[in-house]
Structure 1
Amino acid sequence: MSQTPPAKAAPARLATRYWTLAILALVAFLAMVDRQAFSVLLVPMQRDLGVSDGKMGFLSGSAFALAQAIFTLPLAWLADRTSRRDLLVVAVIVWSLATAVGGLAGGFATLLLARLVVGAAEAAQTPATVSLVADLFERNQRGAAFMACSVGAALGVSFGAYVGGALSERQGWQGALQTVGLPGLLVAAILRMTVTEPPRPARVERSELGDLRAAASQLKQSLAIPTLPPFLAGYVALQAASMGWYIWFPAFLMRVHGLSAAQMGAVFGTVVLCGMLAAMWGGPVSDLLAKRGARWRLYFIVAIIGLSIPFLCLSFLAPSLILAQICAMGFTLFLGAHHPVAMATYASLSPPASRAFVSGLVFVSGALLGAAAAPLLFGVVNDLLAPSLGARGLRYTLLLAPALLAVAAVFYAIASRTADGDTLAAERPTVVSA
């Protein structure tokens, strides 16, 4: 391992930085529209395909997350060595076409294959975005910068819920998938023509491209960052809670409260929109707190998890739709602030030469151990409860989510102990030698 002093790249012009950030937020929006529209279509798809909750949980969340888990680290490693912009362009084209092709599927197997391709392509989005934003903005500006990406993602979830529900009733789930998939081709063209790849403050030599020993060494170095293992554990638990909720709360609204697909899309879209508002205040507030030390971002995450849990529990147990919706909005108003703060935290923990890789490691851990497992777990538990509780069983299945959030808070608190030192150390980047 050799030490490489950080090379100061010329800062990008203000307009260039914020235009790039806006396009990255648009890409995040697009990814979540595709993802959330699919979740909203779960009930009509299940009705047409005639499969169990367990299989639908696997199709809608677990298969997608498994594909992301397999491809994230290779694509993140590539993002540290090649044009992140061009990698995103290819990824957007592939996932957009695969989403549209999913609308042509005539059976479970074909639809599963399409979702696997979508998941694999979307694996490039987070690592490339984190690396780009971290190179464009200083450490104490990153919470606000990642806020823009989180707002884009939250708007995508909200819009995906609205449009998925509306299109389902007008065009069926097949037509809905085709409609939400194809606009990504236009976004890919805008990204390619208007965004310039920024210079890197430190880089890995081109001779290392394709060297598996260098990749293994990079993985070992990343896991040696003391803050990262407990952070990963907290992130995994939070992702499991969030993904289980995202996939099954729409079905809860339809089964327990009797909403149609369009009604559910409107209610769920409003709930998720509150997550966007949370991201808008969470990122900038965490930047202010981070001036006192990186650990304060983690204190912030622990606090919002604690505040969100009671609202989440009440949203499942409330006797009326109105009360359930109000409590769900309270939940997302707090927990929605987590995303930009977590991204700013792990972006600052990692040396510039391996930011995409560390981001990929965080993402793949959340995808494989959290997001992939949770929808299937929730679906299987609900299948077990259904014979005795019927549709009401989903109300109690969803209580798995607050339990997982409590676990996440514990590990984030542990991670806070070493965050200050690791963040300072990351400013002295190391480069893996082949």
Structure 2
Amino acid sequence: MKKIFTYENGIVSLMSLTFGVLFFDRLALNYLVPYVAKDLSLNNLQIGLLAAGLSLAWAFSSYFTTAWSETRNKNKITFIVAIFIFSICSFGSGLAIGFGTLLAARLVMGLAEGPVIPLAQIFVERESSPSRLGLNVGIVQAVGGALFGSILAPVILIQIAENMGWRTAFYIAGIPGLLIGAITVFYLRKSTTVSRGIESHKGFNVKELWKYNNIKWGTLLACCVFGWWFATIPFITKFFTDVQGMDTGTMQKTMGLLGVAMLISSLFFPGISDKIGRKKALLIALSLGVFYPFAVYFLNGSGAHLPVMLLTYAMVGTIPLVAAIVPSEAVPNRLKAKAVGFVTAVAEIVGGVLVPAIAGGLSDTIHESAFLWIAAALAVLSLFFLSKLQETKGKVVE
């Protein structure tokens, strides 16, 4: 029993819940798009820009706020304040009266959410047993991004929107973060959050980071993985309902099941990477992801549509690997927080800002399915960048 109630498990649990409320708030708009777009008269380009704007703010803050916090040994206060701010911003989304006000609320949310994930991932790494690093990071991603963000969020938010309106859904989405923020104040230890190497490394260290092979190629790989996800997630619910003719209930169940696939893959691939290595685990998942857009488009109406989508959606399980594990194992301890923040920031800009904006524009002007083919191309490209990575499992960089 004592082995269960350890501080390591406590940190993993707390960071999982933090990820959960963060992704619940961040992804809320994606699930509420059919309601919000109709009420505020939004087109696909504007939907893409909303996702891109949040990602741009997230990217900027992910690196620069994290680096500032790490340099000044302010990790705990930065982490806690950020949780409270992004939770309050969910209320702001519910108060939006048009595209401009909704974009403003999402931009502020992105600025607040930016440092939360890099810092949380570093907190988990510092308290993880070496043999459990991949599994622990996978648990955080699975419980946060998958269970809360992709399984519970569509079910709860769509149900609230159907019965009480999309604005109420945004208001309710902001409440859990306030509770998690209060718990974090008392539970997070100083030893977990204290900065490393702040006396001799007070800059942003971008040039130094880029010298490491797995930061250079890993950043490009992360851009493809993030782009693959963000090319589809802002548009997929609208595509299911408006193009493929799904009713609201079927769409809700489909998104919930995709969340289950994310939950399983986010546990399986980081966990198995502790056994077979990071590159082999990535190769399996990325290869499956190439076929996800084809499954969405070509298998519609068949019995294979849902099961093949669930299988090929497994590429989403590589996010904790490319965003946290690969960059943290690529550099010395003093650069880990900045490395995770840097890779996340660049991947957010390319994959989360440029890709959804382009995907939305092309889906408006060429064909509603254009976003799917952008995702397919990025999945293929990710395999090339993966081939350039060096295996780092079990290796220490000095």
| Shorter-chain TM-score range | over 0.9
Kindly state the Cα deviation for residue 108 of structure 1 after the two structures are TM-superposed: 1.4
Kept in 1, the 8 Å contact 2:270–2:281? The answer is no
- Distance in 2 of aligned mates of 1:352 and 1:201: 12
Question: What residue is the counterpart of 1:104 in the other structure?
Answer: 95
- Distance in 2 of aligned mates of 1:379 and 1:40: 16
Kindly state the Cα deviation for residue 206 of structure 1 after the two structures are TM-superposed: 5.1
Kindly state the Cα deviation for residue 346 of structure 1 after the two structures are TM-superposed: 1.6
DSSP-derived class of the 1:128 partner: helix
State which of 380, 383, 397 in structure 1 corresponds to 2:361: 380
- Distance in 2 of aligned mates of 1:262 and 1:13: 39
DSSP-derived class of the 1:106 partner: coil
* CA deviations over 1:343-381 (Å, ceiling 9, x no partner): 222211122122111001010011001111121111101
Question: What residue is the counterpart of 2:48 in the other structure?
Answer: 57
Kept in 1, the 8 Å contact 2:70–2:195? The answer is no
* CA deviations over 1:126-167 (Å, ceiling 9, x no partner): 210121112112444210110111112111222111122111
Distance 1:278 1:207, change over 3 A: closer
- Distance in 2 of aligned mates of 1:125 and 1:200: 12
* CA deviations over 1:215-264 (Å, ceiling 9, x no partner): 24x21111111221111111101111111111111111111232344442
Kept in 1, the 8 Å contact 2:31–2:157? The answer is yes
Question: What residue is the counterpart of 2:137 in the other structure?
Answer: 146
Question: What residue is the counterpart of 2:266 in the other structure?
Answer: 279
* CA deviations over 1:63-116 (Å, ceiling 9, x no partner): 001111221212211342424333221111000100112101112111111000
State which of 397, 414, 417 in structure 1 corresponds to 2:388: 414
Root mean square deviation of aligned Cα: 2.2
Among all aligned residue pairs of Structure 1 and Structure 2, give the percentage whose two residues are the same amino acid. Answer: 18
Question: What residue is the counterpart of 1:338 in the other structure?
Answer: 318
Question: What residue is the counterpart of 1:388 in the other structure?
Answer: none
* One-letter identity of the residue aligned with 1:67: A
State which of 203, 209, 213 in structure 2 corresponds to 1:215: 203
- Distance in 1 of aligned mates of 2:249 and 2:288: 30
Question: What residue is the counterpart of 1:46 in the other structure?
Answer: 37
State which of 220, 234, 237 in structure 2 corresponds to 1:233: 220
Kept in 2, the 8 Å contact 1:282–1:337? The answer is yes
Kindly state the Cα deviation for residue 34 of structure 1 after the two structures are TM-superposed: 1.0
Question: What residue is the counterpart of 1:249 in the other structure?
Answer: 236
What's the TM-score, normalizing by structure 2?
0.92
> What does 1:349-368 correspond to in 2, within 5 Å?
349-368=330-349
- Distance in 1 of aligned mates of 2:41 and 2:181: 35
DSSP-derived class of the 2:291 partner: helix
1:129 aligns with 2:110: no
Kindly state the Cα deviation for residue 265 of structure 1 after the two structures are TM-superposed: 2.2
Stretch moving more, 263-272 or 235-244: 263-272
Stretch moving more, 197-206 or 274-283: 197-206
DSSP-derived class of the 1:372 partner: helix
- Distance in 1 of aligned mates of 2:64 and 2:369: 39
Kindly state the Cα deviation for residue 123 of structure 1 after the two structures are TM-superposed: 0.3
Question: What residue is the counterpart of 1:192 in the other structure?
Answer: 185
* CA deviations over 1:256-304 (Å, ceiling 9, x no partner): 2323444422221111211101122212210012xxxxxx312321222
Kindly state the Cα deviation for residue 324 of structure 1 after the two structures are TM-superposed: 2.6
The gaps in structure 1 that reach 5 residues or longer are: 1-11, 209-213, 290-295, 386-392, 429-434
Kept in 2, the 8 Å contact 1:163–1:265? The answer is no
DSSP-derived class of the 2:190 partner: coil
Kept in 1, the 8 Å contact 2:54–2:106? The answer is yes
Kindly state the Cα deviation for residue 397 of structure 1 after the two structures are TM-superposed: 3.5
Kindly state the Cα deviation for residue 322 of structure 1 after the two structures are TM-superposed: 4.8
Question: What residue is the counterpart of 1:155 in the other structure?
Answer: 147
Question: What residue is the counterpart of 2:287 in the other structure?
Answer: 306
- Distance in 2 of aligned mates of 1:39 and 1:423: 38
Kindly state the Cα deviation for residue 186 of structure 1 after the two structures are TM-superposed: 0.7
Kept in 1, the 8 Å contact 2:288–2:311? The answer is no
User: Which protein is bigger by CA-based radius of gyration?
Assistant: 1
* One-letter identity of the residue aligned with 1:178: Y
Kept in 1, the 8 Å contact 2:123–2:192? The answer is no
> What does 1:58-73 correspond to in 2, within 5 Å?
58-59=49-50, 61-73=51-63
Kept in 1, the 8 Å contact 2:59–2:346? The answer is yes
> How many residues are paired up?
392
The gaps in structure 2 that reach 5 residues or longer are: none
